Amino acid sequence: MDPVSIALSAAGFELHADSWDGGAGEPILLLHGLGGNTVTWHGVAPLLARRLRTRVLAVDLPGFGSSHPRGKVCGYSGLFEVVADILVRQAPTGAHWHVAGNSLGGLLALQAAFTLPERVSRVTLAALSLPLTWGRGLRELLAFASYVPTAFPWLGRHLVGRYMRTLGLPGVVDAPIRFLFGDPARLDPELRERLLDVSAYRLTWVSEAALALEEVTRGLGLALLLRGRAERWIRESRCPVRAVYGGRDPLYPPGAWQHLERERPDWDYVCMPDAGHVPQLEAPADFARHMLAPV
């Protein structure tokens, strides 16, 4: 089942989205991670649509993928407004969504479950972005601090823009895959080609893409550092949650996932031992199987 590309309006942004229409079951919303796009879900979405006989919607958040921000400020809060608008307006009245998100998208999914419980029936997390202090000692925190300049006003967009222009194609696709995957050789060649197509378009508006990444990185970092934000969404979300993570995730040590299990022992946990930080792209069939299993 191939995706149908559609245009959506949400919270003042014009967005690109991909849709798989398998029937009238509980709709599913798929949210990508920081720097990602809808293609990261292309291996999973058709399996869900067929098996569950439902509509599956994957969205390029503003500033990412093929969703050009058109001069509007993105930021983390802007992304959440987009997600909330989609949950309210893109399903029949009274419908509940199954929301799945990777990394940044997982945090948005949990915030949606916390803020709009009447719209979210369950959540699947793919390598959720966790509070940065969880499971890290001082040395690990200092190592993670190398990402901080990306969030600085003006500096962040300059660094990201220079990085994107220097790498070009296929570097902007292959370099993150090498870093984020447990085994980069597992990437489906067809999905790599789709990622290259999206990245080629995004490189035509690299300055705006770099600014969006700076803005969202800053907001995400604050959410993961300030008490009462990410921690609150994790602790107080009340719908069923399955947390899937990779055993070879380069961004979060085992102690971070152990901390999460202590905070929410009622959630269902799945470790994909050979996967990295984008398990739904690295091993889509396995991830789909975990997502289809009852909570």
User: Does pLDDT of 143 surpass 70?
Assistant: no
Q: For residues 226 and 229, give the distance between their C-alpha atoms in angstroms, rounded to a whole number.
A: 6
Q: For residues 101 and 129, give the distance between their C-alpha atoms in angstroms, rounded to a whole number.
A: 10
Domains contained in the chain, number: 1
Query: What's the pLDDT tens digit per position in 261-279?
Result: 999 999 999 999 999 999 9
Query: What's the pLDDT tens digit per position in 178-214?
Result: 999 999 999 999 999 999 999 999 999 999 999 999 9
Domain of residue 130: give its range.
4-292
Query: What is the model's pLDDT at position 152?
Result: 75
CATH number, residue 138 = 3.40.50.1820
What does each C-alpha distance from 165 to 160, 210, 231, 254 come to in angstroms? 9, 10, 36, 34
Confidence grade of residue 6 (pLDDT, cut at 50, 70, 90): very high
Q: For residues 252 and 271, give the distance between their C-alpha atoms in angstroms, rounded to a whole number.
A: 13
User: Does pLDDT of 139 surpass 70?
Assistant: no
Task: Write the burial class of residue 217 (CB in 10 Å: 0-12 exposed, 13-18 middle, 19+ buried).
Answer: buried
